[in-house]
Amino acid sequence: MLQVVNHSIQPVFNSESRILMLGSIPSPKSRENGFFYGHPQNRFWSILAAILEVEIPQSNEEKKEFLFRHRIALWDVLASCEIAGANDQSIRNPIPNSLERILLSAGIRAIFTTGKKANELYQKLCFPITMRKSILLPSPSPANCRITFEQMCKEYRIILPYLTEK
């Protein structure tokens, strides 16, 4: 059954952010936890920690510090939509977030979408405004179990060159 979901988590970014990573919209577990990729089986935080060779952040505050330290901005494509649970394929009536405040205040070198639906929504709703291409990464969701953790890490390593000072 579809329910209207309004995005309730603020974006994480600062002037030092060099990449912007976008999901579609927070899952019920993420909304409950008050932070991105909040499902305990979501691999997002463990993938980033592995490729950056650091400890996995645990608390929401540690996750924010992790993002700032590694120059990663994090938000979602959608401000609101109708969705059944965490099923991105059920999304109806999507309304995009405005990415301008991030793109105008941070030196974003690349935009990454975490999953096919996030990428599709970005292309349709955000690209016409930003005119900045996105790079598709596989979804770290527990529903995307066909890709191994090692393969995920290999795919996500594409972010690393964008994080270094140039």
- The 10s digit of each residue's pLDDT in 120-149 is 999 999 999 999 999 999 999 988 888 999
What was the pLDDT predicted at 143?
82
Residue 162 binned pLDDT confidence (cut-offs 50, 70, 90): very high
Summarize the confidence of residues 39-52 as an average pLDDT.
96
In the chain, pLDDT over 70 holds for what percent of residues? 99
End-to-end CA distance of the chain: 48
Summarize the confidence of residues 7-13 as an average pLDDT.
96
Tell which residue, 59, 1, 61, 8, has the closest CA to residue 31. 8
Tell which residue, 74, 57, 75, 58, has the closest CA to residue 66. 57
**Helical H segments across the chain, by residue range:** 28-33, 44-52, 60-69, 100-105, 116-121, 127-130, 149-156, 160-163
What was the pLDDT predicted at 23?
97
**Other residues' Cβ atoms within 10 Å of the Cβ of residue 77:** 30
* Domains contained in the chain, number: 1
Question: What's the whole-model pTM score?
Answer: 0.96
Q: Summarize pLDDT for 53-91 with one digit per residue, the tens.
A: 999 999 999 999 999 999 999 999 999 999 999 999 999
Residue 165 binned pLDDT confidence (cut-offs 50, 70, 90): low
Residue 3 binned pLDDT confidence (cut-offs 50, 70, 90): very high
More confident position, 132 or 1: 132
Whole-number average pLDDT of the chain:
96
What is the span of the domain harbouring residue 28?
A: 3-163
Contact of 144 with 158, CB cutoff 8 Å:
no
CATH number at residue 133: 3.40.470.10
- Is the pLDDT assigned to residue 166 strictly greater than 80? no
Question: To 10 degrees, the CA torsion angle through 102, 84, 150, 109?
Answer: -10
What was the pLDDT predicted at 142?
83
